[in-house]
Chain A
Amino acid sequence: MNDLDWIKGTLCILMAGGRGERLYPLTRDFAKPAVRFGGIYRIIDFTLSNCLNSHIRKVYVLTQYRSVSLERHIRLGWNIFNHELDEFIECVPPQLVHSDHVYRGTADSLFQNIQLLQLERPERVLILSGDHVYKMNYNAMIEYHVNKGADLTVAGVEVEREQASAFGVIGSNDDYKIVDWEEKPKDPKPVPGKSDKSFVSMGVYVFNTEVLVKQLFSDVKKKSSSHDFGKDIVPAMIKTNKVYVHGFTEPIDRTRSYWKDIGTLDAYWEANMDLVAPVPQCNLYEKEWPIRTYQHQVPPAKTVSEHSRRVGSVLDSVIAGGCLVAGAKVVRSVLSPNVKVGGSSVVEDSVLLDGVQVGRGARIRKAIVDQDVSIPDGFTVGIDAEEDKKRFTISPGGIVVVPRGVVLD
């Protein structure tokens, strides 16, 4: 069997139905996978680009909350597969056939759409999540899955063992067969041969379809189950099935393994900051593994010096088209399209989303400013914690979030 056969026998289910409460207020108007990230992208672009670059051509995106924004983005930016060649990226809202309630968990979202598996009858199902930022060749994982003769393969990213206690940790034997699956363990199991590392689950799964269907039915009959792949299905299967971990490395630079779950405001901010370092943790500039998105037509980004003393400057930052930095300083920040920063203002360590207008003499530090917010002249964000607390959401990590629609004076 060659690579193409593996890919052809694989259907991808991309789960994009979560409410994204921990990313509120960014998710007030958008599905989490449709939240703007890295200047020009939506979070889901990373997973979809991985599919495209891995030659996965059959993708169902299971939507639910705030799905209009997500469906529009996919329609505008990802209408690139050819149905005549049996290729598709298709959004599937809840069908309410099997039940009258919203998805109770990730496994329930697939259970409620089991007809998609019946329709395609794939040999394998690749299950992905729409809210992770990483670059991964899914073929390598599918090949591994087939060679291992596995029922289920789970992708694991290596993290420092002392930091692994915060995650779901995969314990495996020397053959990478999963023997333990622990949520936030005190003493995380090491990666075989690497005593200082542990495998953390990336929420990327390859299932043999028939095993998956049986597990979904068995899970739905367990009324105490939370109907979640990570919490219920995988732990139940490691006792009875052949479940393996696939060690994740990036497709181009295999020494790297950047993976970030954009689950919280702090993680969102950190992942944006991971793009701005001179040697970024997440490299968007690898031509061999492009990350694709949809972009409006916008004029080029521009800096303007108002006087010799007020130089418009942008340092260690990612800025999208349509931005105008006039006599202001932008440092270690990510600017989405059409952001304007006015004279003498300073923006540091911040994420400014589409259309944000910063007046003159304003200061913004360690903040996320949501779409179309207008920051008045002389206003500060992230400088006076007491003042910020009165108006804005502050993340546990101290990032100030200025929500969309707020009127500031």
Chain B
Amino acid sequence: MTHILVVDDERHICELYKSEFEDEGYTVSLAHSGKEALEALDKESPDIVVLDIQMPGMDGLETLSKILGRDKVVPVVLNTAYSHYKDDYSSWGADAYVVKSSDTSKLKAEVKRLLGK
């Protein structure tokens, strides 16, 4: 089954995405920091990562650069409440950039598009 790793420091958002993606038939695991995300990537080999940017400690952009430096390529969707990170070249390494909204259809569509590649 297709496996999504959701990385977000806000636990209720994680739970929301988990239930929404599980309804779509995906397996979902959660990480609450950049460090946890990198550990989860080593252990679980997810098919795609949904990554928040503003997190305490290692933020999403630094986490993204570490993900890009890994041997195995995994698509990453940046999922953030802010649009200004689009101007930061560090964010250009992501395969998609979604601005957070209560409507998750855009996020789901990007995930589906990237997995369909």
Contact = CB atoms under 8 A, between A and B. Distances in A.
Interface of A: 97-100, 114-115, 117-118, 213-214, 217, 220-221, 223
Given A221-B73, A223-B73, A213 B68 contact: no
Given A220-B93, A223-B73, A97 B65 contact: yes
13 contacts: A97-B62, A98-B66, A98-B69, A100-B69, A115-B89, A118-B90, A213-B89, A213-B92, A214-B92, A217-B68, A217-B92, A223-B71, A223-B73
Interface string B67-109: 0110101000000000000001110110000000000000000
Contact of A99 (B62, B69, B73, B88): B69
Nearest to B73: A221
A220 B68 contact: yes
Interface residues of B, number: 12
B88 A118 contact: yes
B65 to A, nearest CB: 5
A98 B73 contact: no
Nearest to A221: B73
A99 B65 CA distance: 8
Given A221-B73, A223-B73, A98 B89 contact: no
Contact of B68 (A98, A100, A117, A118): A98
Given A98-B68, A217-B93, 8 more contacts: A98-B69, A117-B89, A118-B88, A213-B89, A213-B92, A214-B92, A221-B68, A223-B71
Nearest to A116: B89
Nearest to B93: A217
Given A98-B65, A217-B68, A220-B68, A114 B73 contact: no
Contacts of B93: 217, 220
Interface of B: 62, 65-66, 68-69, 71, 73, 88-90, 92-93
Say whether chain B's binding surface is mostly helix, strand, loop, or mixed.
helix
Contacts of B92: 213-214, 217
Nearest to A101: B69
A174 B92 CA distance: 35
Contact of A114 (B66, B69, B71, B90): B90
A117 B89 CA distance: 8
Contacts of B62: 97
Contacts of B88: 118
B68 to A, nearest CB: 5
| Listed residue (B62, B73, B88, B92) with the most chain A CB atoms within 10 angstroms of its CB | B92
Contacts of B90: 114-115, 118
B59 to A, nearest CB: 13
Nearest to A98: B65
A115 B88 CA distance: 9
| Listed residue (B65, B88, B89) with the most chain A CB atoms within 10 angstroms of its CB | B89
Contacts of A117: 89
Contacts of A118: 88-90
Nearest to B88: A118
A99 B67 CA distance: 10
A98 B62 CA distance: 8
B114 to A, nearest CB: 12
A223 B74 CA distance: 12
Contacts of A217: 68, 92-93
A57 B69 CA distance: 32
Nearest to B94: A217
| Listed residue (A115, A214, A217, A221) with the most chain B CB atoms within 10 angstroms of its CB | A217
Nearest to A213: B89
Contacts of A115: 89-90
B2 to A, nearest CB: 20
B77 to A, nearest CB: 15
Contacts of B71: 223
Closest 10 CB pairs of A and B: A99-B69, A217-B93, A98-B65, A118-B89, A213-B89, A221-B73, A220-B68, A213-B92, A217-B92, A114-B89
A395 B66 CA distance: 42
A99 B68 CA distance: 9
A223 B73 CA distance: 8
Nearest to A117: B89
Contacts of B73: 221, 223
B85 to A, nearest CB: 11
A100 B66 CA distance: 10
Nearest to B71: A223
Nearest to B62: A97
Nearest to B75: A221
Nearest to B95: A221
A199 to B, nearest CB: 31
A60 to B, nearest CB: 15
| Listed residue (A97, A98, A115) with the most chain B CB atoms within 10 angstroms of its CB | A98
Nearest to B65: A98
